[in-house]
Amino acid sequence: MCIGIPMQIVEVYEDGISGVIEAGGTKKHCFFMLIDNPKVGDYVLVHAGNAISKLDEQEAKENLELIEQCLLGAKGAVE
């Protein structure tokens, strides 16, 4: 039950706290109470029918840079 799945918001209902998310053609109902300002097009991590975090392209890039920095440290040590 703890498996989080990245999905995209395709509809936000009028209540603002729920809507529809999609991944690989599968659509599901989702609650948005745990994220700020859900918008159509946002990528979110979905856990048991709830979005628990937004997924950001820029942060993914920075994340990779962090890993590559660690790797450079390792290569430096090897050399």
Partner 1 sequence: MQWSKFKDKDLVLSLAHGIKQKAKKFDRLRIMHVCGTHENAIARYALRDLLPNNIKLLAGPGCPVCVTSSKDIDAIINYGIKNDCTILTFGDMLRVKGSAYSLLSASKLGLYVKMVYGLDEAIYYAKQAKKDAIFFSVGFETTAAPVASIIKSVNLPENLSFFSVHKYTPNGVLELLKAGKLNIDALILPGHASIVSGLAPYEKVASSFNLPCVAAGFEPVDVLGAILMIINQLEDNICKVENEYERLLNYEGNKLAQKALNDIFDITDSIWRGLGIIKNSGFEFKKTYNYLNAKLKFNIPFSDSYTEEQKGCRCAEVILGTIEPPQCPMYAKICNPHNPVGPCMVSDEGTCRNWWEVKGDI
What single letter denotes the amino acid at residue 61? K
Distance CA 7, CA 5 (A): 6
Among 8, 20, 22, 50, binds partner 1 (CB under 8 A): 50
Distance CA 34, CA 63 (A): 23
State the nearest-atom distance from the C-beta of 41 to partner 1, in Å.
14
Give the three-state DSSP class for 12: strand
Give me the residues that bind partner 1 (CB under 8 A), please.
1-4, 6, 17-18, 28-29, 31, 33-36, 45, 47-50, 52-53, 55-57, 59-64, 66-68, 70-71, 73-75, 77-78
